Structure 1
Amino acid sequence: MTLLLTEEEVDGLLDMASTLPVVEDVFRAHGEGRATNHARRRVALPTGGLHVMFAGAPGMDAMGLKAYSVSSSGARFYTMLFHPESGELLAILRSDRLGQLRTGASTGVAAKYLARDGASTLGLYGAGWQAESQLEAVAAVKSLSRVIVYSRKEESRKEFARKLGQRIGLEVETTDQPEEPAAQDIVVTATSSKDPVLKGEWLSPGAHVTAAGSNSLLKSEVDREVIRRASFVCVDSKEELGLEAGDLLASLETGGLLPEAVFELGSVVCGHVEGRRSQEDITLFASQGLALQDMAAARLVYDRARERGVGREVDF
């Protein structure tokens, strides 16, 4: 029997506190070679597009895929979860909230392993849906003393500050000066901008940067100076280079960054690669997202749904 779960049901079963450890675990499994992940594949049509990503790992007892469509009416996200031994289709989930949480959790994992000791301030670019989970995740792994957010619209950043300040129990400052967030210990970009919102010249020594808003070769949230100044650059998966990592494309094409100098975050999590070597290093995580993260979160949702009797069963 296959379990069907709505967006509202998934939202009620998943939160950042539970998403962070399962995402960290799959980064570790990926770094140790105990998981299979394939980068997003796309179908583009004049009226819309279809995006599919798939993965599996014995350790999380799941394999599956996420597919989502994008059109003028918005995006629709679905995850299909299979049992790795029987091949049974365990569940079909609506997964917009799931994707938001696992994207934020990836940023949290990166901050945990790459931010310098004692990092306590966060600068955030973007005040939308995805920016919410970015802040939640960093606040969950670091003891933050200051958060400052910049976005193009004053109204949106002030509403974001009010809402997220209540959620994390810390005042969230706003600014109309784009260089201010870059002066913090941890800097996160979560925008829809096609052009850089973060300039490398603004960064302070020792900063950790996560660029989380671009998963296209046509978009870059950080300029080449960010990459030039970074002592360590990593991605979710090196398979993404040339497919999705728009933040790195210009530097890769001009030789400012060599493919051999780009690492995978999972290798840092499992201890195979040393990320930060000094308190003065600038580190960069260009986040594109792994299907493994979706599968880990989906498996957690499925197990909780079974325990709590949530969802509807369908016999295909």
Structure 2
Amino acid sequence: MPLILNEAEVADLLDMGSTLDAVEAALRAQAEGRATNRARRRVMMPGSGLNFMAAGFPESGLSGIKVYSVSRGGARFYTMLFDAESGELLCIMQSDKLGQMRTGAASGVSVRHLARPDASTLGMYGSGWQAESQLEAIAAVRDLSRVIVYSRREESRKEFAARMSERLGMEVETTANADEPAAQDIVVTITSSREPVLLGEWLRPGTHVIAAGSNFLSKSEIDPETVRRASFVCVDSREELGLEAGDLLRPLESGAIFPEAVYELGQVIAGQVPGRRGPEDITLFASQGLALEDIAAARVVYDRAVAQDMGRDIEF
């Protein structure tokens, strides 16, 4: 009988440290051919849409699928875990919080492996809910001396700064100058914008850039100059090229970068490609999110729920 977990239970069971480690292990396994991921597919209907993505991670003993609907009433996220050997449905969990955490964790993992070792300042574009886990994950892997946030609405960025300053016990600054976050060691875009919020001309040598807000070909948070200036470009999965990586579409179409020059973050983790070669390099991680990352985080939740005898069993 599968276990049922709601959002509150998932949030109680999942922490950023464990999510970072789980996502990193899953991306390494993907690069080494020990895990399988299938990109998101979308069923679009008038006023709503259904999205689904799947992955298999034999070493964890699991396969799984994430399904979410988007409509005028909002978005609803669910992840289902299956026993990789028997095929038994083990768990259904609400997974809005889980998705937020794994998205932040993927960015944190990219900082671990691609940011300069002395990188200590963070500039952020975006102050919404997804921005929270971006900051939390990066703060977990780097000792940050400065965090500065820009977003279109002054009220939103100030509320975000106050909330995250209290939660993380660190000062989070805000700015009305769009180019100021780009002057930091690590730069994150995590917005809903369809047009670039970050211009490559603003970046300093040595920056690590994370473009995490776009997962549609029609959306791009960074301009082509950002991609052109990057010495190293990677994604969660190369399968996303031509499907979801809107941040890379124009540079690929114009020849500013070739598909062969786009790598996977897991390849860096596994030591298959070097990533950053020197302190002056600008590195770029264009994150669209993988089912494999969801399944890795869901495994943490499921194991802890079983250990604590949480959730509700149901019969079909």
TM-score range relative to shorter protein: over 0.9
Task: Specify the alignment match of 1:168 in structure 2.
Answer: 168
Residue type of the alignment partner of 1:34: R
State the shift of 1:315 in Å: 2.1
Task: Specify the alignment match of 1:26 in structure 2.
Answer: 26
Task: Specify the alignment match of 1:42 in structure 2.
Answer: 42
State the shift of 1:80 in Å: 0.5
Residue 60 of structure 2 is aligned to residue 67 of structure 1:
no
Residue 111 of structure 2 is aligned to residue 98 of structure 1:
no
Q: SS of the counterpart of 1:102?
A: helix
**Which segment drifts farther, 55-64 or 92-101?**
55-64
Structure 2, unpaired ranges of 5+ = none
Task: Specify the alignment match of 2:213 in structure 1.
Answer: 213
Task: Specify the alignment match of 1:270 in structure 2.
Answer: 270
Task: Specify the alignment match of 2:191 in structure 1.
Answer: 191
Q: SS of the counterpart of 1:79?
A: strand
Task: Specify the alignment match of 2:113 in structure 1.
Answer: 113
- Under a length normalisation based on structure 2, what TM-score does the superposition of the two structures give? 0.99
Task: Specify the alignment match of 2:76 in structure 1.
Answer: 76
State the shift of 1:215 in Å: 0.3
Task: Specify the alignment match of 2:247 in structure 1.
Answer: 247
Residue type of the alignment partner of 2:259: P
State the alpha-carbon separation in 1 of the partners of residues 44 and 133 from structure 2: 28
State the shift of 1:47 in Å: 1.5
Q: 4+ residue runs of structure 1 moved beyond 3 angstroms? A: none
Task: Specify the alignment match of 2:123 in structure 1.
Answer: 123
Cα deviation, 1:213-242, whole Å, max 9, x if unaligned, reads 000001000000000000000000000000
State the alpha-carbon separation in 2 of the partners of residues 26 and 166 from structure 1: 31
In angstroms, what is the RMSD of aligned CA positions? 0.6
For this pair of structures, how many residues does the alignment match?
Answer: 316
State the shift of 1:164 in Å: 0.5
State the alpha-carbon separation in 2 of the partners of residues 21 and 285 from structure 1: 18
Q: SS of the counterpart of 2:40?
A: strand
Identity %: 67
Task: Specify the alignment match of 1:143 in structure 2.
Answer: 143
State the alpha-carbon separation in 2 of the partners of residues 101 and 89 from structure 1: 23
State the shift of 1:312 in Å: 0.1
Q: SS of the counterpart of 1:213?
A: coil
Task: Specify the alignment match of 2:200 in structure 1.
Answer: 200
Q: SS of the counterpart of 2:51?
A: strand
**Pairing of 1:300-311 with structure 2 (within 5 A):** 300-311=300-311
State the alpha-carbon separation in 2 of the partners of residues 28 and 7 from structure 1: 28
Structure 1, unpaired ranges of 5+ = none
Task: Specify the alignment match of 1:295 in structure 2.
Answer: 295
State the shift of 1:306 in Å: 0.7
Q: SS of the counterpart of 1:70?
A: strand
Q: SS of the counterpart of 1:132?
A: helix
State the shift of 1:310 in Å: 1.0
- Under a length normalisation based on structure 1, what TM-score does the superposition of the two structures give? 0.99
State the alpha-carbon separation in 2 of the partners of residues 167 and 208 from structure 1: 25
Residue type of the alignment partner of 1:204: R
Cα deviation, 1:95-138, whole Å, max 9, x if unaligned, reads 00000000000000000100012000000000000000000000
Q: SS of the counterpart of 2:86?
A: coil
State the alpha-carbon separation in 2 of the partners of residues 51 and 149 from structure 1: 30
Q: SS of the counterpart of 2:130?
A: helix
Q: SS of the counterpart of 1:112?
A: helix
